[in-house]
Amino acid sequence: MKQNKYDDPAFFSAYQQMNRSVKGLEGAGEWHVFKSLLPDLRDQHVLDLGCGFGWHCRYAREQQASSVVGVDLSEKMLQKAREMTEDDLAVTYLQMPIEDISFSPDQFDVVISSLAFHYVKDFGELCQKVYHCLKTGGTFLFSVEHPIFTARAQQDWTVDEQGRRLHWPVDHYQEEGMRKTSFLAENVIKYHRTISTYMNDLIEQGFRIKAVQEPMPTEEMRKDDPLMQDEMRRPMFLILSAEKVSPAT
């Protein structure tokens, strides 16, 4: 059974108060980078894995995507997503674990995912499923928590006695697997993988890496929120853009 923390009332309530939940895409520090890597979505069939409140699904429709499928494990998240998407028949929300997707071959032109895959145990298997349902030449674009960020289960700064942030500690980097973390609640299960695993799983599946980004908040964001300045000290997110190439290439 996959952990479904987002349907835990306390977790859900805390998540709802995050900037990215209230303000949507513009409240997410990495959105400007993610957006810049999106292909033209006009007339495209788009799949969003771990769609949450559906912000990316609605964005895709604003960009004239012809259809969007959003997948999420959390019924509570999808309920809110459906409310906010109103009566757009071109958006379909499906409640299921990301790992269980089973779409037709070449069903999508673009597959995206925002900060969901660090909840997935087997990334290689997921790559295989995405490759299967993506058209050749299609884009697979996703963000995850950065391996520098996920290595230690604590996922927090080293601070001095006054609570000042000294540096970001890394440990257990090469030990991939489960991490019981605290994120809005206790015992949130995430999976740490190395940078090389993310890259090689994609490459071995038949994707070509198109871009790698470790996004920084914009200067404006850093001015508005002094803590954002610390985002220059270590990367929190990793964004990968890959293209499905035909086996012959």
Q: Report the nearest approach of its own copies to the CB of residue 210 (Å).
A: 7
Q: Round to whole Å and give the CA distance between 138 and 246.
A: 10
CB of 204 to its own copies, least distance (A): 9
What's the rounded Cα separation, in Å, for the pair 204 and 199? 9
Which member of 10, 96, 178, 211 binds its own copies (CB under 8 A)?
211
Cβ–Cβ < 8 Å for 64, 109: no
| C-beta of residue 235 within 8 angstroms of C-beta of residue 205 | no
CB of 169 to its own copies, least distance (A): 4
Q: How far, CA to CA in Å, does 210 sit from each of 102, 126, 206, 233, 244?
A: 25, 19, 13, 25, 10
Q: Per-residue x/- marks for its own copies, 142-181, CB under 8 A?
A: ------x--xx-----x-------xxxxxxxxxx------
Burial label for 175, CB within 10 Å (0-12, 13-18, 19+), is: exposed
Stretch of 16-24, 53-61, 69-77, 211-219 lying at the interface with its own copies (CB under 8 A): 211-219
Q: Is 120 helix (H, G, I), strand (E, B) or coil?
A: coil
Q: For residues 108 and 11, is the Cβ–Cβ distance under 8 A?
A: no
Per the CB < 8 A criterion, the answer to whether 36 and 42 are in contact is: no
User: With respect to its own copies, which residue has the nearer C-beta, 39 or 52?
Assistant: 39
Chain position carrying tokens 């309920």? 79
223 is a site residue for its own copies (CB under 8 A): no
3-class state of residue 23 by DSSP: coil
Q: Does 210 bind its own copies (CB under 8 A)?
A: yes
Closer to its own copies at the Cβ: 14 or 199? 199
| Binding window for its own copies (CB under 8 A); candidates: 50-58, 123-131, 137-145, 192-200 | 192-200
- Under rule CB under 8 A, residue 117 binds its own copies: no
Query: Judged by CB under 8 A, does residue 216 bind its own copies?
Result: yes
Give the rounded distance of the alpha carbon of 42 from its chain centre. Answer: 22
The residue range among 53-61, 89-97, 125-133, 233-241 that interacts with its own copies, by the rule CB under 8 A, is: 233-241
Indicate the helix (H) or strand (E) that contains 195: helix 195-205
Residue 222 interacting with its own copies (CB under 8 A): no
> Is the Cβ of residue 110 or residue 202 nearer to its own copies in the bound state?
202
Among 212, 218, 225, 228, which residue sits at the site for its own copies (rule: CB under 8 A)? 212
Residues that bind its own copies (CB under 8 A): 148, 151-152, 158, 166-175, 194-196, 199-200, 203, 208-214, 216, 231-235, 249
